[in-house]
Amino acid sequence: MCKESNCEKEAFCLCPIRGIVDVVSKKWVMCVLTSLREDPLRYNQIKKNIGEISPKTLSNTLKTLEHEGLIERNVYGETPPRVEYSLTESGKELQIALIPLVEWVRRRENHDELHTGQKSHKKNQIKNST
Amino acid sequence: MCKESNCEKEAFCLCPIRGIVDVVSKKWVMCVLTSLREDPLRYNQIKKNIGEISPKTLSNTLKTLEHEGLIERNVYGETPPRVEYSLTESGKELQIALIPLVEWVRRRENHDELHTGQKSHKKNQIKNST
DNA sequence: CCGCATCCATCGGGATACTG
DNA sequence: CAGTATCCCGATGGATGCGG
C-alpha cells in the first residue's frame, strides 16, 4: 500500500511519479527538453532559443536534468570553451512517455473552445488566501 | 512554431503541457487524485487518507482541481454538512494519460537498483547556490 | 563562451486557532 | 463537519555583475 495516499492498489497509484513531476514542472524544463529533441545544443543556443530565461535559472535547470540522467553534458577542451547538451536515452523515453499527456491536453483545449469559445483552464489558478 | 522553446515541429513540443504539469506537481495533487480514484470521498476522509496535509493546503488543492475541471464538488444540504469530492471524466482521462509516465518511472527505478544497488534519483536535487 | 555569486521579490505550503 | 484566518519559513526564479 502506498503510504502517502493510502491507496490499496499500488499498481495504479500516482504517487510514485511525484518525484519526476516535480522535476519536469520546474519552470523551463519542458522548453529545454523540447529544444534538445533534435540535436545537441550549446548553452547559449539553448538560452537564445528560449529567450527570456536568466543564466542562473538555465544553469540550475541543466544541472537538475543532468543529475536526473535526462541530459548529458559534453565538454570539448577548446578555446573558446565549448559545451554541448544532449538528451540521454532516458530523456528521450521520458518524452515518449509524455505524449499521451500532450494529446490529452490538446483534446481538452479543443473541448474548451467548443463549449465556451475560449480557453478556460490553465490561466488564473486559485491563489493562496493572503 | 512554439514561441516558448522555438521548436519548429509544434506537434512534438512539450510546452503545451506546462500548464497541467504545474497543476499536478502541486505537492499533494497526485495523492488526492489517487485517493479519489475509486469512490467519492468527503473532505475529512481525504485528509485522513493522506495524513500530514494541512487543511489550508488541502482546501487550495481541491479548489485548484475543481477549477481545472478534474474533480467535482457535491454539497448535500444536511446537518452536519456533507461535501463529497469525485473525479470528473476529465480527471479519469488524465489518470489514464499518466500511466505511461508511471511505467517509465518504475522502469527507471528498476534500472537504478540493478546498476547501483539503490535508488539514485529523486532525492537531493541540485539546490540554488546560496 | 560558459557559467557562478549576490541580492531580492514572490509563492507554496506547514502549524495552529477559529467559525458557520 | 468543512473549511477560513493568520503567521511563518524555505525554495524558486529574476536581474545583474564578475571570473576562468
Q: Read out DSSP for A24-83?
A: HTSTTHHHHHHHTSSS-EEHHHHHHHH-S--HHHHHHHHHHHHHTTSEEEEEE--SS-EE
Q: Which of A56-65, A72-81, A82-91, A121-130 is least confident?
A: A121-130
Domain presence at residue A58 = yes
Residue B76: φ, ψ to 5°: -110, 120
The Cβ-side half-sphere exposure at B120, using a 13 Å CA radius, reads 13
User: Where is pLDDT greater, at A40 or B110?
Assistant: A40
A40, A85 Cβ separation under 8 angstroms: yes
Identify the residues numbered 13 to 52 in chain B whose C-beta atom is closer than 7 Å to any atom of strand C: 26-28, 52
Identify the residues numbered 85 to 114 in chain A whose C-beta atom is closer than 7 Å to any atom of strand C: none
CB atoms near residue A121 (< 10 Å): 18
Distance CA A91, CA A68 (A): 9
**B25 in helix, strand or coil?**
coil
Domain with B107, as residue range(s), is 7-129
Question: Which cell goes with A70?
Answer: 535526462
Domain presence at residue A74 = yes
Q: Which of A5-14, A18-27, A76-85 is least confident?
A: A5-14
Distance CA A90, CA A65 (A): 11
Domain presence at residue A1 = no
Look at residue B96 in the predicted model and tell me its pLDDT. Answer: 96
Domain presence at residue B1 = no
Largest CA distance in chain B: 58
DSSP per-residue string spanning B62-83: HHHHHHTTSEEEEEE--SS-EE
Sign of CA dihedral B26, B32, B34, B36: negative
Q: Which residue is nearest to nucleotide D7 (CA to C1')?
A: A130
Look at residue A16 in the predicted model and tell me its pLDDT. Answer: 87
B99, B105 Cβ separation under 8 angstroms: no
Look at residue A103 in the predicted model and tell me its pLDDT. Answer: 95
What is the H or E stretch that residue A85 is in? Answer: strand A82-87
Q: Give the 3-state DSSP-derived string for A107-127, with helices as H, strands as E and coil as C.
A: HHHHHHHHHHCCCCCCCCCCC
Domain presence at residue A59 = yes
Domain presence at residue B26 = yes
Strands A82-87 and B71-76: unpaired
**CATH number of residue B13's parent domain:** 1.10.10.10
Domain presence at residue A11 = yes
Does the beta-carbon distance from B63 to A24 stay under 8 Å?
A: no
pLDDT tens, B52-99? Answer: 899 999 999 999 999 999 999 999 987 788 999 999 999 999 999 999
Answer whether residue A123 shows pLDDT above 60.
Answer: no
Predicted model pTM: 0.86
- Give, in Å, how far the C1' of D7 lies from the CA of A48: 42
Domain presence at residue A2 = no
A110-127 average pLDDT score: 60
Spell out which residues of chain B touch residue A12, defining contact as CB-CB under 8 Å.
34, 37, 95
The number of folded domains in chain A is 1
pLDDT tens, A10-69? Answer: 677 888 899 999 999 999 999 999 999 999 999 999 999 998 899 999 999 999 999 999
Look at residue B127 in the predicted model and tell me its pLDDT. Answer: 39
Does the beta-carbon distance from B125 to A64 stay under 8 Å?
A: yes
